[in-house]
Amino acid sequence: MAEEQRRKFMETAYEQAIKDVVALNGPVAAAESGAVYENGKFTLNLYNRTFTINHPDVRVQEVGSDAAVPMWISLLLLHYLIHASGIPADGHWITYRELPGATLFEQRFRQMAIKPLLDTYGNDAEGLIKAGNALGGLTMDRNGDAAFRFLALPKIPVSVILYLGEDDIPSTVNILFDAAAPSYLPTEDLSYLGMYLAIALMKAKPR
């Protein structure tokens, strides 16, 4: 029942997002989001994948793929165009918990992003380093046994940092967001952005 309600909620949100994107001024939205806008089409990257969004006839497609784009990814991209404010990255990293209204989604974020990532790489910093490099992440010069910065969307930097455990201290991993991220996506959407990264890193684990 909960899954059915979630699906209906997403469908309703998607229908509204289409209406909101139709109403956008293409060049202005592109300038504020960092997307490219040419010939009635937005082009933007989600991590290392490229998507196009027709405008105003809204249609989301992945460049180089004929497969249908999952609704949650389409909704994420549409919401990004709608909410993008154009302000520059803050340069200050914050945890998911520090995002506005994160209490509603934090447990799910930890269960679906942080815990699986820790289970996969909690004792394997070298594996996370290889996976981060494979996904085009930039090594971060800061504390941690493995730390990478990714450009999740054109104006939303995201980072992942692993600290290996020692003696009685367990390993920890976290996904951090630039403090300006709430000016580009709602907090729930940012949880999906982090989950996407966790899944991609786990899939990229060296065999």
Both 27 and 74 in a single domain?
Answer: yes
Rama region for 144: left / alpha / beta (φ>0; ψ in -120 to 50; rest): left
Question: Which pLDDT value is given to residue 125?
Answer: 96
35 found inside a domain: yes
Q: Is the pLDDT of residue 1 over 70?
A: no
50 found inside a domain: yes
Residue at which a domain ends, from 49, 83, 117? 83
DSSP labels, 134-195: HTTPEEP-SSSSEEEEEEEETTEEEEEEEE--BTTBPPEEEEEEETTGGGTS-HHHHHHHHH
Question: Which pLDDT value is given to residue 33?
Answer: 98
Task: Quickly state the pLDDT bin for 163 (edges 50, 70, 90).
Answer: very high
88 found inside a domain: no
Both 44 and 122 in a single domain?
Answer: no
Residue at which a domain ends, from 83, 112, 128? 83
Please compute the mean of the pLDDT values over residues 134-157 and round it to a whole number: 94
In single-letter form, the type of residue at position 3 comes to E
Both 98 and 169 in a single domain?
Answer: yes
Partners of 177 in the β-ladder: 94, 158
Strand 49-54, strand 41-46: pairing: antiparallel
Each residue's pLDDT tens digit, 109-129: 999 999 999 999 999 999 999
Both 76 and 102 in a single domain?
Answer: no
Using CA atoms, how far apart are residues 109 and 175, in angstroms rounded to an integer? 10
Q: What is the span of the domain harbouring residue 24? A: 2-83
Q: What's the number of domains the chain is made of?
A: 2
Give pTM, 2 decimals.
0.93
Using CA atoms, how far apart are residues 2 and 113, in angstroms rounded to an integer? 20
Question: Which pLDDT value is given to residue 140?
Answer: 93
